[in-house]
Each structure stands twice: as C-alpha cells, then as structure tokens.
A and B are shown apart, each in its own frame.
Chain A
Amino acid sequence: MELKTMINVTKIRQDFPILQRTVNGKPLVYFDNAATSQTPKIVIDSIVDYYTNYNANIHRGVHALSQEATDAYEEARIKIQKHFNAKHSHEIIYTSGTTHSINIVANGFAALLKQGDEIIVSALEHHSNIVPWQMLCEKTGAILKVIPMNEEGELIMSEYDKLLTANTKLVFVNHISNALGTINPVKYIIDEAHKVGAAVLIDGAQACPHVKPNVQELDVDFYVASAHKICGPTGVGMLYGKEKWLNRLPPYQGGGEMIAEVSFEKTTYADLPHKFEAGTPHVSGGIAFGVALDYMNSIGFNEIAAYENELLEYATDKLLEIDGLKIYGTSKSKTSVISFNLEGIHPYDVGTILDKLGIAVRTGHHCAQPIMSFYKIPGTIRASFSFYNTKEEIDALVEGVKKAKMMLS
C-alpha cells in the first residue's frame, strides 16, 4: 500500500533530535507516543532560550526580566486559548498536567455535591480519571456510575442514556481512550448531560495529539490536556473551564499568586486564572507549551490525522497477518493506537524482545485495569503512532513481533 500523504516525514523527522539516536545498537523506533510524544528542537530551544535570556519569577517583579518572562508566559496562555477556541484567556488554567487538572475539578466539586448526587464515568477511563472521583464520592456521599463498553471497546450510549437522571451532577469521559484508541462520542455525551443539568469534563490527554478540540463548539464545561503528549515538555498542562464554572469552584491550593488580599481574618482570592495558580508556575514549560502548539499547527491537524490514519491502517493490516495476534479495541472510530497480544504469550515478554530490537512500545495495563479485566487479560502491547513515524518503522515492528513470537513460543 502506498501512503498518500501530504506530510513530508523525512523533513519532519529532522526536527526531532532524539529520532536520530540508536537503542541497543539499532535505530530507535519510537511507538510509545500515547505515553509521551517526542520534542522538536524548536520546543527544546525555547526552554534553553528562557533559561539563557529571561529566567525570572513572573507577575510580580518590576524589573525587565520578570516583565519579559510574564509577557511570554501570558502570550503562551493566549496561544492555548486560541488553539482550543476558548472564549477568554482566563478560562485557561496552567496545571502540571492532566491529572492535576482533573484533581482541581474533583476537589472543587467536593464543595458542590451532596449525598445522593451522582457522578458518571466511563469504563474506558485511565486510573487518573477514576481515583479522584472515587475519593470525591467517599468525601461527599455521591454515587459513582459507570458507562459500560462493548467488545469493540466502544462505550454503549443506550446504557449512558439510562444512567442520566436528575441526580446526575457530573459526567467524566475521555475524548479518546489511552489503552484502545477509541474516539468517544463526546458531543453526544455533553449534550445529553446538559439536558439533565449535569456538568461535563472531557479528558483530552489522548485526543490532543490527533485532533484540535473546539471547546465552544463542544459546549464542554471542562476540558483538560497535557503538553508532553503534544510535543511539549513534561510537567505542564492545562485546565479549560467555562468562566461560570471556574468562578463557582473553590481554589485547589493555597499560596502566593492566588490571593487578592490577605489578613489573618480573611483572604480574598485572586481573579481567574490566578485563583487556581498558586505558587511559582512552570514558566519555561508554559512558554514551551505554546511553542509546541505553534509547531503542530504549522504541520496542520488535518494533515496529521490523515497521515496517522494511514499508518494505523497499514499497521493493522500488517499485524493481523501474524497468526495468533489479536487486536483489542476494534472500533471504526479510533486513533493511531494498536493494543494487541500474541496468543499464549505475556505482553511483557514481547515488549522485552522489541526493546532489544530498539523498538519502544508500552506493555502492561496502561493504567486502565478495568479495561483489561473486561477482556480478561493481564495487559497488552500498545504501539501508538505519531506523525513523525514511518511505514518502514511499522515494518520493523512487524518483523520484531514475528521474531518475538518465534523466540517465545
């Protein structure tokens, strides 16, 4: 099959210094993109530039460096706002990543929920999107309900409809499943939740590398993402919240930056977004997040999605030619993630052999044990493709899996 791509992969690969290295004497084949994407030089340079030229604490200095750093950090916030099409830049809260973002919302809702209220999550969730809600339910007496999935790894919408009641206060679903790559019908989920007056948080960690979410069009109440999955640095992410919701939620952490006035009797909180940004933030990370979004937009999300889809189809066909290989998550609506196993062979063993061949995949339960329990397996091998991957790399994976099968059976 010929890849009919608009993307110049050879040129793109030159943007990523790490793709030139070898592992165990073999050229690196990096297929763990769903865990962390690689970083283009332009993003790395922005971090070096920050520490070389204008490293300072932001928002409170009167001196030039502080002003420059503040400007760059706030310009990046506006880039993020525009990327996600938020109405206001103060609806974008910088966080340490998706998990932190989710915890801000969960903690905030602790003050708004009462006994008997209901929270709906999906069977496809990452642990980070289950545990905070369990803790919230323990704290408030709210009840956690789960949208079940089918054999293809899709959420069953008719079951979701039945779970929605006047008691539903919150719905939390990932945009795209990290373990299986299923794209969930988030627009439907949001609209139906709104009909019963519930708020919706969408975890976009896995979606943002592949699509450009439009939060106003989705009419979503909260949307969260991490920079390190979209060519940005680790340790930085964002929480989008509708202004009215962010104003209702109490702050998550106390500290500097998040206050307006402090006395021993009473502290008034700062306005958005600072109310949720206590302490000195990850300044270089925020700036680099903006550069990463610029970089991905310069390639274009339509082009990225089209190319990754071609890689997905190519890899799916090639892998299925291997006897005894089973793919988990076979929805027609999925991104470039393939979760698979070889019959009778532990995924960890396959991952170990692939590593010796310089091929990086993820093995295990992908922090989504409920999904693994559904399929009654200890885990899977997960290969996730990015726009800088190639057909030749997929060939190397297929050969590697065949070799692993030969050695292990």
Chain B
Amino acid sequence: MSIQDIQEEIIDEFSMFDDWEERYQYMIDLGKDLPLIAEQYKTDANIIKGCQSKVWVHAEMNDDTIAFTADSDAIITKGIIAILIRVFSNQHPAAIIEADTNFIDQIGLKEHLSPTRANGLVSMVKQLKMYAIAYQTQLK
C-alpha cells in the first residue's frame, strides 16, 4: 500500500469517531497494544529529545524499503508514533522523503505535530526523513 493509501485508510478510521474522547481513547489503545521497538535499540543514542516525553527511533533497511520501530515513555505520544510508523514503515526511501503529515490535521490531532509542542514528535518525523535520505544515498 502506498503512503497516500494508508493515510486515507487512517482518515477513514478516525472519521467514525464522534468526539475527542473516542479519538484519544483509540490512540491510547494503539499506544498500549504495540511493542514498538526491541529493547536493545532503546538506547540513549536512539533517543530523540523532546522537552517532556522521550522518543526512541530505530531504522533498518530491508531490500529497498525501510522498517521503522519506535517507542515513547508517554502513552499518547506512543499512540501517534504507532500511526506514524504505520504510514512510514516498509516504504521506499524516496516515498518517505516526499510524504507529508497533513493527514494528522484531518484526524484531529494537529496539535501533536505542532513544532511548538514539547513531545518530540516533530523531531521524530524529521529523524524518519533523515534516515530515508541516508538510505536513499546508499541505494544510489
């Protein structure tokens, strides 16, 4: 599935929710469900520093796609990470570099990807793209 298709699928899922509480409960559940990153990659070197919640990211190249795993110590942040991983993981580096995160607006979670939000997610998206750029260079 392309990044665009996955984003539309997520927008569809979120359109079923009536209010913020249902949206947040869904995200919290996503956060709880996913074992996102192998313990050995939860190192200080893989921490992306937000002001308040810690975010870890790990990337691996499989053939010509990148598999991302990530985690956070805050559960709502973790829920959004789960959504971002679903969108960006197992995609070709070029597609990751080009992709935007506007769909986050459409599912009512815009404030979490605001550059002023102290949760590390904006830096996380930047980091995913940095990995994509690095692997893209390797592919060439």
Contacts and interface: CB of A to CB of B under 8 A. Distances in A.
A356 B109 CA distance: 11
Interface stretch (B63-71, B74-82, B86-94, B96-104): B74-82
B76 A348 contact: yes
B21 A348 contact: no
A379 B74 CA distance: 12
Given A348-B77, A364-B52, A378-B73, 14 more contacts: A24-B20, A348-B52, A348-B119, A349-B28, A349-B77, A352-B24, A352-B76, A353-B76, A356-B21, A363-B52, A378-B52, A378-B53, A379-B52, A407-B28
B25 interface: yes
A364 B51 CA distance: 8
A67 B31 CA distance: 62
B33 to A, nearest CB: 14
A364 B74 CA distance: 12
Contacts of B54: 378
A347 B21 CA distance: 18
Interface of A: 24, 345-349, 352-353, 356, 363-365, 378-379, 407-408
B118 A364 contact: yes
Contacts of A353: 24, 76
Nearest to B119: A348
A373 B28 CA distance: 27
Contacts of A348: 52-53, 74, 76-77, 118-119
B53 A346 contact: yes
10 contacts: A346-B73, A346-B75, A348-B52, A348-B77, A352-B24, A353-B24, A353-B76, A356-B21, A363-B52, A408-B28
Closest 10 CB pairs of A and B: A346-B74, A348-B74, A364-B52, A348-B52, A348-B53, A349-B76, A349-B74, A349-B75, A352-B76, A356-B20
A408 B53 CA distance: 15
Nearest to A378: B73
Contact of B24 (A346, A356, A363, A364): A356
Interface string B11-34: 000000000110011001000000
B20 A408 contact: no
Contacts of A356: 20-21, 24
Interface string B102-125: 000000000000000011000000
A379 B77 CA distance: 16
B112 to A, nearest CB: 8
Nearest to A25: B20
A407 B74 contact: no
A347 B52 contact: yes
